[in-house]
A = this chain, B = another copy of it.
Amino acid sequence: MSDASEQIPGGRATGSTGPVSPTRCPAVKLRPASYLILGMVGLGARSGYAIKAAADQSTQFFWPMSLAQVYPELARLQSAGLLRREEDPRGARERHSYALTDAGEQALADWLRSAQNEPTQFRDEGVLRLFFADALQPADQIALLRRMRERAAAVAAITREEILPSAEALEQAGTRCPALIARLRADTHAYVERWLARAETELR
């Protein structure tokens, strides 16, 4: 695991609203959600709200994150010296604008190059049902297969029609990976859809 605090120069100030003692940054444990936030700031999302909004349209599907996670994590990353925070109010409405520090950029780059992965987690109640579906009548088995196929088709369609277009807008600007991920997701679910359709046919 990359320990970002190692890269923080000693006497570095952490920004206009930083902690009282800016000379030492505590070592905080960085989890994937931390890098998700760092990455979103790197892509241009400035406020906690904007980070969550961006995540909802993209990373939500392979790394879910709730709004209640975002604000404490932003504070942690700031206290670790990886983010710089500035007051950026809109009229009387407060707003904080975050940017990557050099240390933050370095921590993000280290993580991106790192080969260590948390174990992939996949939880799907439909697949769990299908595993035990021998206890069902054939007609109910077919109905289950059909519902799963329809769900896979819906995910593929939504990804193609709603997620991909915004990712392709980014792609025009030179940021290609979001669109790559959207295509991977759409294609994989389309494959599962066909697979389940074939299984359904074979069962009949």
Contacts and interface: CB of A to CB of B under 8 A. Distances in A.
Interface of A: 32, 35-36, 39, 42-43, 58-59, 61-64, 108-109, 111-113, 115, 117-118, 120-136, 140, 143-144, 147, 151, 174-178, 180-181, 184, 187-188, 191-192, 195-196, 199
A98 to B, nearest CB: 16
Contact of A192 (B61, B134, B178, B188): B188
B195 A187 contact: yes
A117 B125 CA distance: 6
Given A63-B127, A109-B136, A130-B180, 17 more contacts: A42-B135, A62-B131, A63-B128, A111-B129, A112-B136, A113-B140, A115-B147, A117-B125, A118-B123, A122-B122, A127-B181, A131-B177, A134-B175, A134-B176, A184-B196, A187-B195, A188-B192
Chain A at the B interface: SS class:
helix
7 contacts: A62-B123, A109-B136, A112-B144, A120-B124, A131-B178, A132-B177, A184-B192
A193 to B, nearest CB: 11
B128 A113 contact: no
Question: How many copies of this kind of chain does the complex include?
Answer: 2
A136 B43 CA distance: 13
B32 A125 contact: yes
B133 A126 contact: no
B131 A181 contact: yes
B130 A181 contact: yes
Contacts of A124: 62-63, 117, 120-121
Contact of A131 (B39, B123, B144, B195): B39
